[in-house]
Structures are given as C-alpha cells and as structure tokens.
Amino acid sequence: MTAIQKIKGTNDILPDGFGEEIFRSSLWRFAEQTMTDLALRYGYAEIRTPIFESAELFIHSVGEETDIVRKEMFRFTDRGERDLVLRPEGTAGVVRAWIENKLGAHDPVSRLFYHGQMFRAERPQKGRYRQFHQFGVECIGGADARHDVEVIMLFWDLLQTLGVKRIRLEINSVGCAHCRPQYREALKAHFASSLDGLCADCRERYDKNILRMLDCKNPACQEILCTAPAMTASLCAVCAAAWQELQARLTALHLPWTANPRLVRGLDYYTRTAFEIVHDSIGAQATIAGGGRYDGLIGASGGADTPAVGGALGIERLLLAMQSESRTPPAAPVPEYCFILLDENCESQLEEALYALRARGVFAMHAEGSKQIAKQMRAASRLGARYAVFIGGDEWQAGDVLIKDMQSGAQKAYPVPPCGLAAFLLEHFFGETMRRIERGL
C-alpha cells in the first residue's frame, strides 16, 4: 500500500531536525508558552472550547455573506443528522461558552484567552492553511476604548516580546448599527456607476451586504474599491468620540498606528474599532493579528446586551515573522545524564537509576539502540547529553561508576556509595548545578 499523506493545507508539527523550520515543536512550545504567560500577566484566564460546534453558531455570528461562511467552512452532518462545522475562528465559540456557562455572573469584565486549531477551506499558500492555529483573547464586558487598547497592546507586546519588530498597526472604525446604514447608502451611491467593473461576488454583495464588498481580494475589484469613501466620515457622534479616544490613547502609549479607512475585516460581528497588525516581509499573507469590538454579538446570540472586544493572532504567521527576523527559541533542554550500557546483565540497575533520577526531575536518558559502545556514545552526543554514565565493565565490577564529561572529554571513576547509584548521581547533579550557578552559567 502507498503511504497515506497528510491532507493539503495541513501541517505536521515535528521534533527538531525534521521538516520546515516553522513547524518544529520546540518553536511552537516556546511561542505558546510565551503567549500563555503574557495573557495571564494581562489578567486573562484560559478557555478551551470544542473544535466543532453547530453550523448555526458560525453562520449567525460570523455572518452569512462572509467568505468564511459562504466558501470556507468545513461543514458536515454527523450520524445524528446534526449540522456541524469545524470551527473557523474562536470568538463565536467563546461567546457561546460565556453565555452558556454564565461566565459574566461575578465580574463585570471577563478576560479570556485561547489557542488552538481553526479550519478554513482556503486555497493553501505560504501563511495560509486549511488547518491553522490561533492565539486569541476576548475581553467581554469591556465597554470603552481603554479595553480596545488593552487588547491591541497585548498583541503588540507579545510580538515585541518574541522579537518581531517589523510590524505595523492599522486601525479603523466600522461604526455601529446607528451610523452604518448611512455609510451603506454612501457606498451604494459611490459604486452605482462602476458595478460593471466588479466581479459577480461584489455585485451580489452590493445588494446583500455592501460592506463585504470592501473585503474582496480580487485585484481588479480592489482598484475600484479603493476609491470608496471612508467609514470614519459617516460615524455617528458616539462612534466618532470613541474613534478619537482610541487614537488618543494609542498615541499616549507611543503605539505607532495608522488609520486604514478600508479596513473592514472578514467577519460581520464588528462594531466601531477594527484593527490589524501587519508584517512587512512574510509575503502575501501579511496580517499576523486582527480583531476589534463586537458590541452587538452577545445580545444577538441570546445573552444580555454586553459590549466586548477581542482579537486573534495566526501562530503560523507569527512563526514566519520570527523566522524572517531570525528569531530563534531558547535551546531545548538536554539530558543531564545519558546511560551507556556495557553489560546487559546490568540493565535493571540502569533502569532503576534512570527512573529514580526522572522522579526527582533530572533529565536522564538511555542511549539505546545498539550494544556497541561507540554507537551508544554517538547517540548520547546527538542527544546533547552533559554526562555519559557507564553501567557495566571493569570499574562497575569493582564498585565504581565511570562518568564522562561529554564537553571536555574528561572521565572519572567514582565509588558507588551503599545508598546506590541514583542517590550518588543526584548528589553529583546538585553539586554540578551549584558549581554552574556560582560560575553564572
């Protein structure tokens, strides 16, 4: 049988030394740990929602006329005839869980973060996959520009912490239910005479949801669409004040923002603030993070009217950005001790010491795979072990254990005390650790 291959647009995240650099598990662990630490430091608590939910949830939240709902959902019917979707984004599920579990019962503001797989049936290319990963935050109950800035700052801070510097912050206001009808009318009037030059999708959106037209990726359409009037010129007084406040707060925090009047985002739930963080050198899929305010979503989803703001970052795109700026994660831990078995009769002593060290939190390995010492030594060196510990042989028979420093090559035989090899190695380990600390290593 020919070996089965992974599905197009999905990726394996592999141990170091295999596959593409951005799909190494050490890098992912480092990025996810950094995100988690940072989100916790901003007061966000972790939430994990199911990877599949009812189709209705996404159609209702993301919007029927969006590309995500029209073309990109992995939708299926299960054995119970339920209409289900592999989640294309995280906000809808978090909002559902927030309402269902009454997460807003105690605090006026719920700060939640998540990371995990998302699924969109897009045409795969660099930075665009069918299964991809997001890190997202939702600040539910956060009513004003202070919360918008908190969310934007969190993503900015994360990128700075990970050494990603060549980024731009773009912001816009997409208004609210009061001022958007006027903007729709302004757009209709503006494009009435140029409809023939637009694609079939755009012409359909002109009638059904004209704001979505601005989101069209077709280059010929973009040339026409870029002449659209700015939404910020049609804002109502309340949205205009919030838009001014957002700009003032970002400026006060020295965040270098630019206003992008055509930033509408690909999801329908946004009100007022929309933002994206774009990287200059990761290719066509340059938006690393995006989000905004969604004050109407919770009320429209069966919850009490609650303002909210959030955002999500694409982890693959983040790692591409780190790669393009030559950022590497700290080196992965290496084994302190690697056991080399010289005599098979001593295997049980080796195993006992191995598990006793691990039980005390010491990284220990057995360089297995061959009876030959040279091969075991090569395996120990590939693992990057600090010390090789020889089990068996003449010294062992004489009651000693031979330990080789893999860096200097120096080796020394130590008498094994009556309390046993593991206890001796633990003492050796703590002695070595103390010496390293004293030398500031």
Residue with the shortest CB distance to ligand HAM = 314
- DSSP secondary structure letters along 301-333: TTS----EEEEEEEHHHHHHHHHHTT--PPPPP
When the beta carbons of 138 and 336 are compared against ligand HAM, the nearer one is 138
When the beta carbons of 212 and 317 are compared against ligand HAM, the nearer one is 317
When the beta carbons of 182 and 285 are compared against ligand HAM, the nearer one is 285
Among residues 70, 128, 203, 360, the one that binds ligand HAM under rule CB under 6 A: 128
When the beta carbons of 264 and 389 are compared against ligand HAM, the nearer one is 264
Q: Look at phi and psi of residue 194 and say left if phi exceeds 0, alpha if psi is from -120 to 50, else beta.
A: alpha
User: Distance between CA 195 and CA 183 in Å, rounded?
Assistant: 17
Encode 23-45: b = buried (16+ Cβ within 10 Å), e = exposed: ebebbbebbeebbeebbeebebe
Minimum distance, C-beta of residue 279 to ligand HAM, in the bound complex (Å): 9
When the beta carbons of 307 and 335 are compared against ligand HAM, the nearer one is 307
- DSSP secondary structure letters along 211-229: GGGGG---HHHHHHHTTPP
Within 208-237, the residues that bind ligand HAM by CB under 6 A are none
Minimum distance, C-beta of residue 256 to ligand HAM, in the bound complex (Å): 19
From residue 136 to residue 155, the character string flagging contacts with ligand HAM as x (rule: CB under 6 A) and all else as - is: x-x-----------------
Per CB under 6 A, 49 contacts ligand HAM: no
Per CB under 6 A, 175 contacts ligand HAM: no
In this structure, the dihedral spanned by the alpha carbons of residues 256, 261, 266 and 268, taken in order and rounded to 10 degrees, is 110
Kindly list the distances between the CA atom of residue 435 and the CA atoms of 201, 220, 429, 439, 440, in Å, as whole numbers in the listed order: 68, 67, 10, 6, 9
Per CB under 6 A, 317 contacts ligand HAM: yes
Minimum distance, C-beta of residue 235 to ligand HAM, in the bound complex (Å): 20
Minimum distance, C-beta of residue 296 to ligand HAM, in the bound complex (Å): 13
Give the tokens for residue 218.
Answer: 């077709």
> Which of 138, 239, 107, 224 lies closest to 181, judged by CA?
239
When the beta carbons of 308 and 350 are compared against ligand HAM, the nearer one is 308
Angle between helices 91-100 and 55-62 (to 10 degrees): 110
Per CB under 6 A, 329 contacts ligand HAM: no
When the beta carbons of 122 and 347 are compared against ligand HAM, the nearer one is 122
Per CB under 6 A, 335 contacts ligand HAM: no
Give 418's DSSP letter. T
In this structure, the dihedral spanned by the alpha carbons of residues 349, 351, 357 and 358, taken in order and rounded to 10 degrees, is -170
Per CB under 6 A, 314 contacts ligand HAM: yes
Per CB under 6 A, 310 contacts ligand HAM: yes
Among residues 201, 215, 316, 336, the one that binds ligand HAM under rule CB under 6 A: 316
Minimum distance, C-beta of residue 420 to ligand HAM, in the bound complex (Å): 52
Among residues 61, 91, 271, 273, the one that binds ligand HAM under rule CB under 6 A: 91
Q: For residue 234, give the 3-state DSSP assignment.
A: helix
When the beta carbons of 92 and 391 are compared against ligand HAM, the nearer one is 92
When the beta carbons of 170 and 336 are compared against ligand HAM, the nearer one is 170
Among residues 44, 98, 129, 183, the one that binds ligand HAM under rule CB under 6 A: 129
Within 250-279, the residues that bind ligand HAM by CB under 6 A are 266-267
When the beta carbons of 141 and 290 are compared against ligand HAM, the nearer one is 290
From residue 277 to residue 306, the character string flagging contacts with ligand HAM as x (rule: CB under 6 A) and all else as - is: ----------xxxxxx-x------------
Total number of residues that touch ligand HAM (CB under 6 A): 27
Sign of CA dihedral 31, 32, 34, 35: positive
Among residues 58, 98, 132, 424, the one that binds ligand HAM under rule CB under 6 A: 132
Q: Are 310 and 136 in contact (CB under 8 A)?
A: yes
Per CB under 6 A, 424 contacts ligand HAM: no
Minimum distance, C-beta of residue 38 to ligand HAM, in the bound complex (Å): 16
> Which of 117, 146, 156 lies closest to 38, judged by CA?
156
Q: Are 172 and 232 in contact (CB under 8 A)?
A: yes
Give the ranges where 293-411 is alpha helix by DSSP (H).
297-300, 315-324, 347-359, 373-383, 393-397
What backbone torsions phi and psi does residue 247 show, to the nearest 5 degrees? -60, -45
Binding residues (CB under 6 A) for ligand HAM: these are 89-91, 120, 122, 128-129, 132, 134, 136, 138, 266-267, 287-292, 294, 310-314, 316-317
